[in-house]
Amino acid sequence: MIIDKAEVIVTSPDRNFVTLKLTTDDGLTGLGDATLNGRELSVVSYLADHVVPLLLGRDAHRIEDAWQFLYRSAYWRRGPVTMAAIAAVDMALWDIKGKAAGMPVYQLLGGASRSGLLAYGHASGKTTEELFDSIRSHQEQGYRAIRVQTGVPGLKSIYGIASNATFEAMEGVRYDHEPAQRGALPNEEDWDTRAYLRHLPGVFEAVRNEFGPELPLLHDAHHRLTPIQAAKLGKALEPYDLFWLEDVTPAENQEALRHVRQHTTTPLAIGEIFNTVWDYQQIIREQLIDYVRSAVTHTGGISHLKKVLDYAAQYQIKSGMHGPTDISPVGMAAAMHLGLSIHNFGIQEYMKHGARTDQVFQQSFTWNDGCLHPGDRPGLGVELDTDEAGKYPYVQAYLPYNRLADGTVHDW
């Protein structure tokens, strides 16, 4: 079980993915997801230039030791690039350990705590009619929980909303499905918080009237509000009983959530851009959130996110792992194994990958009655077809950014 090969594979079937593949001297392989949307090649360099040389010759069984060694020996800690690289190593080692044991990873994490993982999908529309169609189409695909994003009158292009113009410009890749747009420079979008705050409660009222009280509904404010604006929104949405309101404020100011909490009982989810337990220290201890949004891929892997979630469990805070299309099938599988095993699972985000991606990554997970299950193949249950991967070289793509009407750059 000595690591004697470590390859960093970049492929862009429907979007860019970075995968670490480890091979042991006895021929076992493990995969780890290191995809950081819009900044992919920085993690490729971190892995290939600095981590791969440290892995060769190590005992693949020693997962915790590898984690601590990579985290502490670099001296420079945390950050999305470092933590995605460590996450990839951690995932690949769990994959190998599962294969060595002949068991799916969730069994090694304590076994299943439930039969499947309730997952939510992304519905969106520029108008209320388009939004209703999108919700219906998600229900037809089996979703039993739905995130609702809507256009705002007066704003041309905002986070999470598909429009025909962007659909055509992106050669058939839906923008609501994949915000990173291929090209040499990032796209500019526009934003107006007052217009958004005026519009959104009416949309949720219409959705509740149309789809009834049962359907779990979620919404992502995507870091664009100040604490007092966020408090106002949470309060205004209370009658519509959201499952959660996500990323109401820029997440790096943990104290901001205190203001929001003082004013609203709408459940809060945060953390998709967090990397370590330290980013959550205050908001978990002070019970300022209800759901942890971290992805396994961006939070140091299965080993570290499990520690974050075990800490959260002491405060009845649950998981809501990030699962947009920029989490690769390997990262999604890791999330499913972790989610199946922990006690404090809340919900899993699940946007389906495109057909080309599913050909590059052969996967064992199942999707039944609105629930995911990682399957029972030993390890994570994902294999990478390197010939297929080789057909799709890296393509430059950036996430968009926002400007206000007066030209000021704003959180996207």
Hey, CA dihedral for 367, 352, 63, 95, is it positive or negative?
positive
Shortest Cβ 403–ligand GCO spacing (Å): 17
Q: Given the rule CB under 5 A, which of 57-65, 212-220, 231-239, 382-390 is the region that contacts Mg ion?
A: 212-220
Shortest Cβ 186–ligand GCO spacing (Å): 12
Q: How far is the C-alpha of 332 from the C-alpha of 318, rounded, in Å?
A: 18
85 — phi, psi (to 5°)?
Answer: -65, -45
Q: How far is the C-alpha of 170 from the C-alpha of 112, rounded, in Å?
A: 40
Among 14, 33, 40, 220, indicate the residue that binds Mg ion (CB under 5 A). 220
Among 33, 130, 189, 272, indicate the residue that binds ligand GCO (CB under 6 A). 272
Please choose, from the candidates 256, 271, 250, the residue with its C-alpha nearest in 3D space to the C-alpha of residue 409: 250
Q: How far is the C-alpha of 219 from the C-alpha of 161, rounded, in Å?
A: 12
**220 is an interface residue for ligand GCO by CB under 6 A:** yes
In the complex, residue closest to ligand GCO by CB: 37
Residue 383 DSSP SS3: strand
Q: How far is the C-alpha of 98 from the C-alpha of 379, rounded, in Å?
A: 4
* Residue among 52 and 308 whose Cβ is closer to ligand GCO: 308
Among 349, 373, 392, 402, indicate the residue that binds ligand GCO (CB under 6 A). 349
Q: Active-site positions?
A: 159, 222
Segment 319-338, which members bind ligand GCO (CB under 6 A)? 322, 324, 326
Segment 2-31, which members bind ligand GCO (CB under 6 A)? none
* Rg, the chain, Cα only: 21
What mask, x for binding ligand GCO by CB under 6 A, covers residues 379 to 408?
A: --------------------x---------
What mask, x for binding ligand GCO by CB under 6 A, covers residues 164 to 193?
A: ---------------x--------------
Q: Which does 97 bind (CB under 5 to 8 A by kind): ligand GCO, Mg ion, none?
A: none
Going from the C-alpha of 119 to that of each of 185, 275, 351, 390, the distances in angstroms are 33, 22, 9, 31
**121 is an interface residue for ligand GCO by CB under 6 A:** no
What mask, x for binding ligand GCO by CB under 6 A, covers residues 28 to 57?
A: ---------x--------------------
* Residue among 62 and 410 whose Cβ is closer to ligand GCO: 410
Q: How far is the C-alpha of 137 from the C-alpha of 162, rounded, in Å?
A: 14
Q: Which does 104 bind (CB under 5 to 8 A by kind): Mg ion, ligand GCO, none?
A: none
Q: Measured between alpha carbons, how far apart are the two ends of the chain, in Å? A: 44
**271 is an interface residue for ligand GCO by CB under 6 A:** no
Residue 105 DSSP SS3: helix
What mask, x for binding ligand GCO by CB under 6 A, covers residues 287 to 326?
A: -----------------------------------x-x-x
* 317: region left, alpha or beta (phi > 0 left; psi from -120 to 50 alpha): beta
Please choose, from the candidates 222, 220, 169, the residue with its C-alpha nearest in 3D space to the C-alpha of residue 397: 169
Q: How far is the C-alpha of 90 from the C-alpha of 80, rounded, in Å?
A: 15
Q: Which does 121 bind (CB under 5 to 8 A by kind): Mg ion, ligand GCO, none?
A: none
* Residue among 272 and 290 whose Cβ is closer to ligand GCO: 272
Q: Which does 179 bind (CB under 5 to 8 A by kind): Mg ion, ligand GCO, none?
A: ligand GCO
Shortest Cβ 373–ligand GCO spacing (Å): 21
Segment 259-278, which members bind Mg ion (CB under 5 A)? 272
Kindly state the DSSP code that residue 47 receives in the 8-state scheme.
I
Partners of 147 in the β-ladder:
122, 218
Q: How far is the C-alpha of 148 from the C-alpha of 121, rounded, in Å?
A: 9
Q: What is the binding site for Mg ion (CB under 5 A)?
A: 220, 272
